[in-house]
């Protein structure tokens, strides 16, 4: 029987009992319908996970006793930092979710010239927290024990200027080079993907000046959410744990 996994933003120790936060408690109580003595796995995104037993399910609390630490990892040997040009609604949610499933080490949402999503300060914070929740749930589902690092929303120009190491790539359907023609530098890949409208000429120039190489993914023009997924899968196949 499959044992449910839950992320807990907490310090976890063997033989301690923790209270699940409100969201996880509701999920355990109302969706999973866990009862006393049910088995569960809890992790905090810092590596490894804890086998636990539910010791209380009530309207106010769901409490779990942590019984055993399992030193398990499914992390890729390849470090992947992906900068995602922010796209609308479900497309961005999908891209963030699949980046986690495909093993991205770090994710940065990027504001680009052709970004159709506008952010005020409050809205920016809400969207960031929404994507952080997607990362947590994707980590639970995919069996990862390390949470992908999630950067603050950044302007593309400022972001590319700070990327100084690794194989730096940006996706361009008109580029002459493919991923298979590149050589990995130091087991680290920096991927840059655009929004629905693609990159402007100025953004392409800024990326090249910062050391990014334009690459294409085949002969067809891919939607933004397809391109990021395909690129992640390809670099994992070439240099990561898909080999």
* pLDDT tens for each residue of 130-170: 999 999 999 999 999 999 999 999 999 999 999 988 999 99
Asked whether the predicted pLDDT for residue 177 surpasses 70, the reply is yes
The answer to whether 92 and 112 have CB atoms below 8 angstroms apart is: no
Give yes or no: residues 56 and 120 share one domain.
no
Task: Indicate if 232 and 135 belong to the same structural domain.
Answer: yes
Per-chain mean pLDDT for the chain = 92
- Domain with residue 44: its CATH number is 2.40.240.20
Provide the sign of the torsion angle of the four alpha carbons 202, 203, 207, 208, taken in this order. Answer: negative
235, two tokens: 């670099």
Say what the pTM is.
Answer: 0.90
Say if residue 140 is in the same domain as residue 174.
yes
Domain C-terminal end among 24, 49, 70: 70
Q: 28 and 137: one domain?
A: no
Structure confidence at residue 126 (pLDDT): 86
Q: Could you tell me the residue range of the domain that residue 148 belongs to?
A: 79-239
Q: Which of 2, 24, 231 is nearest to 133 (CA)?
A: 24
pLDDT at site 164: 86
Q: How many domains does the chain have?
A: 2
**Same domain as 108, residue 49:** no
Residues 40 and 85 grouped into a single domain: no
Whether residues 92 and 143 share a domain: the answer is yes
Q: How is 107-162 classified by DSSP, letter by letter? A: EEEEE-TT------HHHHHHHHHHHHHHHHHHHHHHT-SBPPEEPPPEEHHHHHHH
Res 1: pLDDT = 63
Same domain, 97 and 42: no
pLDDT (tens digit per residue) in 25-57: 999 999 999 999 999 999 999 999 999 999 999
DSSP state for residue 46 in the 8-state scheme: B
* 208, 94: one domain: yes
Tens digits of residue pLDDT in 109-131: 999 987 777 666 667 788 889 99
**CATH code of the domain containing 163:** 3.40.1280.10
- Residue 108 CA to residue 22 CA, distance in Å, equals 27
Q: Are residue 62 and residue 90 in the same domain, yes or no?
A: no
Looking at the fold, whether 132 and 218 belong to one and the same domain comes out as yes
Shared domain for 106 and 62, answered yes or no, is: no
């Amino acid at each position: 029987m499959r044992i449910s996994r839950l992320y807990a933003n907490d310090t976890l120790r063997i033989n301690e009992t923790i209270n699940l936060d409100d969201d996880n408690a509701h999920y355990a109580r109302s969706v999973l319908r866990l009862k006393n003595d049910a088995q569960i796995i809890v992790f905090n995104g810092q590596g490894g996970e804890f086998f636990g037993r539910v010791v209380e399910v009530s309207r106010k609390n769901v409490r779990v006793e942590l019984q055993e630490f399992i030193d398990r990892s499914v992390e890729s040997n390849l470090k992947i930092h992906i900068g995602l040009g922010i796209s609308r609604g479900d497309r961005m949610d999908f891209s963030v979710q699949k980046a986690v499933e495909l093993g991205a080490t770090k994710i940065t949402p990027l504001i680009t010239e052709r970004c159709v999503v506008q952010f005020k300060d409050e809205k920016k914070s809400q969207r960031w927290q929404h994507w952080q929740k997607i990362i947590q749930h994707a980590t639970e589902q995919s069996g990862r024990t390390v949470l992908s690092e999630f950067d603050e929303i950044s302007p593309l120009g400022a972001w590319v200027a700070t990327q100084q190491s690794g194989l730096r790539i940006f996706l361009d359907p008109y580029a002459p080079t493919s991923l298979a023609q590149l050589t990995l530098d130091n087991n680290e890949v920096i991927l840059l993907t655009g929004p629905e409208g693609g990159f402007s000429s100025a953004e392409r120039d800024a990326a090249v000046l910062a050391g990014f190489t334009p690459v294409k993914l085949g002969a067809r023009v891919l939607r933004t959410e397809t391109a990021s997924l395909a690129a992640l899968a390809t670099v994992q196949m070439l240099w990561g744990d898909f080999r």
